[in-house]
């Protein structure tokens, strides 16, 4: 059986890879810039990790300095914008100490193995120094909190240090909350903002998607206190919370810009690993194909007998094969399979086969494999291995039935099926309708970030000096976690926001050149 990872990342062309972001953005100061009907003197940015500058699976200084709010604030200075402060981390490692002996991991960097194959790896060159118990003082204009959902922005105590250490509050917000019982919205209002940006709602669907649909679609449940971390927020809850945030901010006369939510399934996290990554040329897989197909032949006959031939599993000797997955939307035919297979395999092994393949099928082009699946496909599932040994199988027999995606169906958290994608899409559509409607009702600028990022994901978005795409590693738009933008991606977002502000408020602001901003970081370039 397969004993080595499928090195999918090794197939990626690196293309143009920058190191740390560049900070100097040449601007033609010969033009005349103006704020129009807007007032940029006190700008606050509310949101989640996208607003904070989180990238490469962590929060660190250069990511924060190249966040779209900080880029915007630099451009606002040309039209009366005031000081913009951020709760900067203490280093560029990206790790976060929780003050109780636990820590969040360091950032990803692009590393190379002995054969020169590139893949993301956690940075090991330094230990983190940022501790949430060292609460920052003062107020901060960038109020982005990685992990925040819409209703978290109005939740008092979301930055409570003790609660964060217990996993019940946000450790990033705990660093800079004005008090243990503060809320992000309250901290924003305390600054009497004259202008704000709001990009929130991604996590209300993203965590469900990135977990492979392991969470619950809370449609109809109006009590977010009962939601799990990976659940989809009810659209009415989202609309009510979003309206509360906006009306609170505009009550004192502040103007602002709100952003739509992009299609989360078009980001590299879902588009990098193909549904059929198993190659007959792989020396650990190819020689096993005849034996695998002979073994699956008996199971396929049982599928046909039970009236579900579409669940048949077969691997190709000439082309790439799809992985075997567990699809919880399928009817569970474990009991029927066990009964049909018993005469051939005996009751004990038939029960194992029935339970293992009762909801199994091969993936198809409508399924999205999440980025972390690349490191588990073809690997022994140690938990399943021990279970099978406990059922009386030998080590060798158990190993043959415990290969992720080959003989053991890839578990739910690694695959977002078409049905799960539909749930994500329906929620996003409802959220975006609320965002646009609330923006129009309050006379706010609306930036359709979803439209621009759709172009990035499809044809690529040209800029002066190149094209930015969503291709993992080489596209320049997304960091090594496959979810969050690079500094160059943030520059694209900042330009889109500037256009929306100009169109709504008659402002005149300088744009930035995305080419002046970096992309991903090599292992030895962290400083």
Q: Give a three-class secondary structure readout of 201-243.
A: CCHHHHHHHHCCCCCCECCCCCCHHHCCCCCECCHHHHHHHHH
pLDDT on residue 467: 95
* Residue-wise pLDDT tens digits, 446-498: 999 999 999 999 999 998 879 999 999 999 999 999 999 999 999 999 999 99
* Residue-wise pLDDT tens digits, 502-526: 999 999 999 999 999 999 887 767 7
- Tell me whether residue 202 is exposed, middle or buried, using C-beta atoms within 10 angstroms of its C-beta: 0 to 12, 13 to 18, 19 or more: buried
Strand-pair category, 461-463 with 466-468: antiparallel
* Residue-wise pLDDT tens digits, 100-109: 999 999 999 9
Q: Who contacts 261 (Cβ-Cβ below 8 Å, separation ≥6)? A: 201, 202, 205, 428, 431, 432, 435, 449, 450
User: Cα dihedral sign for 276, 281, 284, 287?
Assistant: positive
Asked if 497 and 62 count as a contact pair (C-beta separation under 8 A), the reply is no
pLDDT on residue 31: 59
Mean per-residue pLDDT over the chain, rounded: 92
- CA 338 to chain centroid, in Å, comes to 39
Domain 26-91+137-271+418-516 superfamily per CATH: SGNH hydrolase (3.40.50.1110)
Q: How confident is the model at residue 24 (pLDDT cuts 50, 70, 90)?
A: very low
* Residue-wise pLDDT tens digits, 131-157: 999 999 999 999 999 999 999 999 999
Strand-pair category, 368-369 with 142-144: unpaired
pLDDT on residue 119: 85
Task: Tell me the average pLDDT across 209-235.
Answer: 97
Q: 3-state DSSP call for residue 446?
A: strand
Domain residues of the chain, as ranges? 26-91+137-271+418-516, 286-321+324-362+368-416
pLDDT on residue 527: 62
pLDDT on residue 224: 97
Task: For 402-426, give the DSSP string.
Answer: -BBTTTBPBPGGGEE-HHHHHHHHH
Structure-model confidence comparison of residues 299 and 20, the more confident one: 299
Tell me: pLDDT of 170 over 90: yes
* Residue-wise pLDDT tens digits, 52-61: 999 999 999 9
Q: How confident is the model at residue 32 (pLDDT cuts 50, 70, 90)?
A: confident
Q: What is the pTM of this model?
A: 0.91
């Amino acid at each position: 059986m397969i004993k080595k990872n499928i090195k999918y990342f090794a197939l990626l062309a690196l293309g143009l890879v920058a190191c740390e972001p560049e900070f100097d953005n040449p601007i033609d100061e010969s033009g005349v810039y103006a704020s129009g009907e807007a007032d940029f003197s006190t700008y606050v940015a509310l949101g989640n990790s996208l607003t904070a500058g989180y990238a490469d699976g962590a929060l660190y200084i250069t990511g924060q300095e190249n966040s779209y709010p900080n880029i915007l604030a630099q451009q606002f200075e040309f039209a009366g914008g005031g000081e913009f402060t951020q709760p900067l981390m203490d280093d560029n490692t990206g790790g976060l100490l929780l003050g109780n002996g636990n820590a969040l991991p360091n950032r990803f960097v692009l590393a190379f193995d002995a054969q020169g194959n590139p893949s993301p790896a956690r940075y090991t060159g330094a230990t983190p120094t940022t501790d949430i118990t060292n609460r920052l003082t003062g107020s901060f204009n960038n109020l982005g909190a990685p992990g925040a959902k819409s209703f978290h922005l109005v939740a008092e105590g979301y930055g409570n240090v003790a609660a964060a250490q217990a996993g019940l509050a946000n450790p990033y917000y705990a660093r800079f909350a004005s008090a243990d019982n503060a809320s992000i919205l309250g901290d924003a209002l305390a600054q009497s903002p004259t202008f704000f940006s709001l990009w929130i709602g991604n996590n209300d669907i993203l965590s469900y998607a990135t977990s492979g649909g392991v969470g619950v679609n809370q449609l109809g449940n109006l009590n977010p206190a009962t939601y799990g971390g990976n659940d989809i927020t009810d659209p009415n809850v989202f609309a009510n919370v979003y309206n509360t945030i906006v009306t609170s901010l505009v009550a004192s006369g502040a103007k602002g810009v709100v952003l739509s939510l992009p299609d989360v399934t078009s980001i590299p996290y879902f588009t990098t690993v193909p549904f059929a990554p198993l190659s007959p040329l792989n020396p650990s897989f190819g020689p096993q194909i005849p034996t695998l197909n002979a073994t699956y032949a008996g199971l396929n006959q049982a599928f046909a007998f039970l009236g579900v031939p579409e669940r048949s599993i077969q691997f190709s000797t000439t082309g790439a094969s799809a992985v075997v997955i567990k699809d919880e939307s399928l009817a569970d035919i474990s009991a029927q399979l066990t009964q049909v297979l018993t005469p051939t395999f005996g009751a004990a092994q038939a029960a194992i086969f029935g339970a293992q393949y009762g909801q199994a099928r091969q993936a198809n082009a409508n399924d999205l494999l999440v980025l972390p699946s690349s490191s588990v496909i073809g690997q022994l599932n140690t938990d399943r291995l021990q279970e099978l040994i406990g059922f009386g199988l030998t080590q060798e027999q158990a190993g043959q039935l415990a290969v992720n995606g080959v003989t053991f169906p890839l578990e739910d958290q690694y695959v977002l099926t078409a049905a799960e994608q539909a749930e994500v899409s329906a929620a996003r559509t409802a959220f975006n309708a609320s965002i646009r409607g609330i923006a129009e009702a309050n006379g706010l600028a609306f930036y359709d970030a979803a439209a621009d990022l759709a172009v990035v994901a499809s044809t690529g978005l040209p800029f002066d000096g190149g094209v930015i795409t969503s291709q993992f590693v080489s596209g320049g738009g997304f960091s090594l976690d496959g979810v969050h933008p690079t500094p160059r991606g943030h520059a694209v977002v900042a330009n889109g926001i500037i256009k929306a502000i100009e169109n709504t408020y008659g402002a005149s602001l300088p744009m930035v050149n995305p080419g002046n901003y970096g992309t991903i970081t090599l292992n030895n370039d962290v400083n």
